[in-house]
Structure 1
Amino acid sequence: MKILTATTETQGEREGDFAFTIEGELVWVGLVCARDERDPDNGGCGCGRAFSGLSSHRATTTARVSDLDLTRDDVITAYAAYLESAGYGIFTASDLAEEVDDMLDICESWEVGDIIGRRLDVLGPRTIGRPGRRSG
């Protein structure tokens, strides 16, 4: 299944890039603080441009579309474990199904190996002009 994973590929191509995640860990589109909502490029913490690592609880501005041997239920379990360990509470599969399905749908619009960036709720390719790249 296609899913987003942390990568350092293309790091440094954009001012303000950072990668504190573990290469290859599952990442998610995390919450955005009020300062970054107003200005994701200069808001302060960078959360408006970052993906959250589900294992490391750290962030990166680049994610790779990876084809992993996971099921939808595996992804739901990983996301639920991340939320619980981050202190957000305990969530059931039905609580998270729509959000996970939305992320999986987004991943289907890109090719395996595409490097994705984020600016608030907009995800798109980090490198323009490569054959087969789509913004979703």
Structure 2
Amino acid sequence: MMKLLVATALTQGVRPNDYHFCIEGELVWIGLVCAADRADPDGGCGCGRGFGGLNSVRATTTARVADLPFTRADYVEALRSGLHQQGWMLAPGEIAYMADDLAALVADVPEGAVLERRLDDVVVRALPAEQ
């Protein structure tokens, strides 16, 4: 079992510019930020505050910590496959590093917590008891 980030509609609307276009429960990653949002997570694009869906190729401003029946190898393959589908051609070492970094980000966060992103900061928006 691994704690991973998945898309969620929970707590949508807390911020007026929230959005949720992902498939509920799909794995998400933290993508690059475009020039329009680089200095402001509330910029016009929205990528500075979003998590990218690995299956839907859509995005959401909220992600939930889920304990899933994945091994590290499973997670690396899920990232590789999802990113490859989106046109990202990353080296295996880069994908493994990304998997480890994303898993470490949520390792100490309680399962069910909802997170939000503000550029390079990913913070808890709500704990399970608050939802």
TM-score normalised to structure 2 length: 0.92
Unaligned runs of at least 5 residues, structure 2: none
Question: Higher RCO, 1 or 2 (CA under 8 Å, sep at least 6)?
Answer: 2
**TM-aligned CA distance change 1:131 to 1:7, over 3 Å:** closer
The alpha carbon displacement at 1:26 in A equals 0.3
TM-score (normalizing by structure 1): 0.89
Counting matched residue pairs gives 129
Aligned partner of residue 64 in structure 1, secondary structure: strand
Counterpart in the other structure of 1:101: 100
Could you tell me which runs of 5 or more consecutive residues in structure 1 were left unpaired when the two chains were aligned: none
1: distance between equivalents of 2:12 and 2:67? Answer: 21
Counterpart Cα distance in 2 of 1:71 and 1:24: 18
What displacement does 1:38 show?
A: 1.8
Q: After TM superposition, which residue ranges in structure 1, 4 or more long, deviate above 6 angstroms? A: none
Q: Indicate conservation of the 8 Å contact 2:3/2:111, yes or no.
A: yes
Q: What is the DSSP-based 3-state SS (H/G/I as helix, E as strand, rest coil) of the residue aligned with 1:78? A: helix
1:1-136 equivalent positions in 2, closer than 5 A: 1-41=2-42, 43-89=43-89, 91-92=91-92, 94-127=93-126
Q: Measure, in 2, the Cα distance between the counterparts of 1:89 and 1:97.
A: 13
